[in-house]
Amino acid sequence: MSPRSIDEQLVKFLADVHSIEVQALAQMERAPRLAGDPALADAFSAHLDETRDHERLVRDALSERGADRSTLKDLAGRVGGWAMIAFAWINPDTPGKLTAHAFSYEHLEQAAYALLERAARRAEDVELMQLARRIGTEERAMSERLAAAFDQAVEASLRHKPASRLDGEVVAYLQDAHAIETQALQLLRAAPAIAGVEPLAAAFRDHHAETREQRERVEGRLKAHGARPSRLQDAALRIGGLNVAAFFAAQPDTPIKLAGFAYAFEHLEIAGYELLRRVADRAGDTETAAVATRIADEERAAAQRICGLWELAMDAALVKVGVAT
């Protein structure tokens, strides 16, 4: 690959971030109607306005940095890179799933801005560093609002279900968790070989081993309910049939895309287990609640480990695209 300047690469990163915001806008436009709870709907509506700002600010930053006309034109409906794959992984058909999905997506955005900020620092683009930090703060605040609304999301999801069906709901959430862990295993099995930097590869390897145990614990709880994993669910979650590893391997800046995606995926899991714990509590299933609490803590630790590696991932990505040596 021919050597590139960091400024050129910055434009590419900005274009990726822009496509994430375009996707976020589509989500925020629909979310208030699906929320099923006034407080949750308000949180989405407020973030819709912020997201409109983000999209515009990133688009302006792109044109100020000399993104050519065809690039800018291309941006209008462009959904590439991270955003494409992040949106295929779940069908948010209940307030709970919607909240989990949005919580995860806000973390994808946080990862994207944390990485953009680092790229801007290397390009000594102070204005862009400040912009990335500012938007990142708003994404974090939104994810905190969503986390504070997990109770309402469960309440809204279960409102019309009779108490006698709670057991079945625990099973459904366990089956979702199983499907997510199955997807996680697929991703984590392939990730070390394409991570591009050993500490990131090691984080994926370790979490792969942990994920196996998590899935077994989930299977154990399904068994305790006389149920089994849903093959249909497991298959449906396979990110729209996409080969995740091949997808990331084909990205010119694989290490940061992979790290950012994995970080967001851990937050999909965190939200899933936070919801499961609440549903299990309502059903009086203390063992499932305990399993959910424990796994959620492990997912949080895995996410923390990944976000401790942004700097290294950025180094590796810049080498890979031919900017740094």
Residues that bind Fe ion (CB under 5 A): 24, 51, 54, 106, 109, 139, 184, 269, 299
Question: Least Å distance between CB 4 and Fe ion?
Answer: 26
CA dihedral 308, 261, 319, 8 (to 10 degrees): -110
Nearer to Fe ion, 106 or 125 (CB): 106
Closest separation between CB of residue 37 and Fe ion, Å?
Answer: 19
Closest CA to 240 of 191, 174, 183: 183
Instruction: Give me the least distance between CB of 324 and Fe ion, in Å please.
Output: 28
Using the Cα atoms of residue 102, residue 169, residue 217 and residue 144 in order, give the sign of their dihedral.
positive
Q: How far is the CB of 17 from Fe ion (least distance, A)?
A: 9
Q: Which is nearer to Fe ion, 274 or 299 (CB)?
A: 299
Structural contact between residues 211 and 271, judged by C-beta atoms closer than 8 angstroms: no
Closest-approach residue to Fe ion (CB)? 54
Nearer to Fe ion, 184 or 191 (CB): 184
Q: How many Å apart are CA 124 and CA 93, to the nearest integer? A: 44
Lookup: tokens for 314: 């950025």
* Nearer residue to Fe ion within complex by CB, 158 or 180: 180
Residue with tokens 């890179």, as numbered in its chain: 81
Rg of the chain, C-alpha, whole Å: 20
Least Å from the CB of residue 227 to Fe ion = 22
Residue 30 burial (CB < 10 Å; 0-12/13-18/19+)? middle
Residue closer to Fe ion, measured from CB, 47 or 320: 47
